[in-house]
Amino acid sequence: MNFDLQGRVAVVTGGASGIGLAVSRAAADQDMAVAVLDNNAQAVEAATAELQDRGFKCLGLVVDVTESESVARAVADVEASLGSIDALVACAGISQNTPVVDMSDEEWDRLVAVNQRGVFTVAREIGRRMVARGSGAMVVIGSTDTIGGHINHAAYAATKHAVAGFVQSAAIEWGRAGVRINVVAPGAVDTPLLRTKFDDETAQRVLLYNVPMGRLSRPAEQANASLFLLSDAASYVTGTTLCVDGGLTTGFFYNDQVH
């Protein structure tokens, strides 16, 4: 079995925080060259400095994934500086906490722009190059909201369902060109994004009632799943969604305290 990713070039969007940062670190630990693309300049600087200080090959670029032109420039810069891109993990994303009846057009459009179009812009730009070269692998970070609904997260869930349709379609288009693309669907992961809406007490209630494994995911556990899908160990896996959710999407009623 070949998990070896050494010497390959990875792009990680949203790579400066949370799951993306864990992917950047894990890819560097596998001796991949890593390009961290994120719109948070301070976080990009910190992530890049950390990886470079540890002796890894890393390029940090401040990029807004909603802007096609800045994405195209960044992808060209990565190839000029690190070489041909072998792998993409698209982690950049935002969330919300608004009931449908209170949601504005602007909030809906922002969610779609970042979580949906922001996956398309990057996958298209890198996909063109991978298809032309005849190899490459991509992972898009979805969510358990790729599988089902979520109270006060209708726009978020709509975008996360949408990326699965995008990934399935791109997998069909790119399969014969040797380019694979899959979704990793995390459950509740302990990141800055989760912490914007979960205090410890809320987290405990969610875990008690919904997560068979009874704990939050560590970001590194999401990174492990992404690296597996990028590696040749997953050479016949494309167009699928891998839930990394501690069992969250396995059933309906999770705890005998609710019966």
Q: Give the catalytic positions in this structure.
A: 156
Question: Whose Cβ is closer to ligand NAD: residue 94's or residue 158's?
Answer: 94
Classified as helix, coil or strand, 18 is: helix
Instruction: Report the nearest approach of ligand NAD to the CB of residue 7 (Å).
Output: 26
Q: Is 246 in the site for ligand NAD (CB under 6 A)?
A: no
Cβ(59)–Cβ(85) below 8 Å: no
Q: Which stretch binds ligand NAD (CB under 6 A): 28-36, 50-58, 186-194, 227-235?
A: 186-194
Tokens 């890593």 belong to 34
Among 66, 96, 121, 226, binds ligand NAD (CB under 6 A): 66
Q: Is 143 in the site for ligand NAD (CB under 6 A)?
A: yes
| 13 DSSP assignment | E
| Structure tokens belonging to residue 98 | 């608004």
Among 5, 8, 12, 17, binds ligand NAD (CB under 6 A): 17
Q: Is 188 in the site for ligand NAD (CB under 6 A)?
A: yes
What count of Cα atoms within 13 Å lies in the side-chain half-sphere of residue 205? 5
Kind plus residue range of the DSSP H or E element containing 54: none
Cα–Cα distance, 241 to 161 (Å, whole number): 11
Among 19, 111, 157, 243, binds ligand NAD (CB under 6 A): 19
Question: Whose Cβ is closer to ligand NAD: residue 7's or residue 149's?
Answer: 149
Tokens 């995008």 belong to 166
Question: Whose Cβ is closer to ligand NAD: residue 124's or residue 133's?
Answer: 124
In sequence order, the 6+-apart residues with CB closer than 8 A to the CB of 89 are 10, 11, 12, 13, 15, 20, 23, 27, 138, 139, 141, 226, 230
Question: Whose Cβ is closer to ligand NAD: residue 177's or residue 240's?
Answer: 240
Among 29, 64, 77, 221, binds ligand NAD (CB under 6 A): 64
Q: Which stretch binds ligand NAD (CB under 6 A): 36-44, 97-105, 174-182, 226-234?
A: 36-44
| 211 DSSP assignment | -
Closest CA relative to residue 194, chosen from 26, 16, 19, 13: 19
Tokens 């997953």 belong to 234
Q: List the x/- string, 43-62, binding to ligand NAD by CB under 6 A.
A: x-------------------
What residues between 79 and 138 interact with ligand NAD by CB under 6 A? 91-95, 114, 118
What are 10's strand-pairing partners? 34, 87
Question: Whose Cβ is closer to ligand NAD: residue 66's or residue 182's?
Answer: 66
Classified as helix, coil or strand, 179 is: strand
Instruction: Report the nearest approach of ligand NAD to the CB of residue 258 (Å).
Output: 22
Closest CA relative to residue 28, chosen from 47, 43, 42, 45: 47
Instruction: Report the nearest approach of ligand NAD to the CB of residue 199 (Å).
Output: 14
Residues that bind ligand NAD in the complex, under the rule CB under 6 A? 13-14, 16-20, 38-40, 43, 63-66, 91-95, 114, 118, 141, 143, 186, 188-189, 191-194
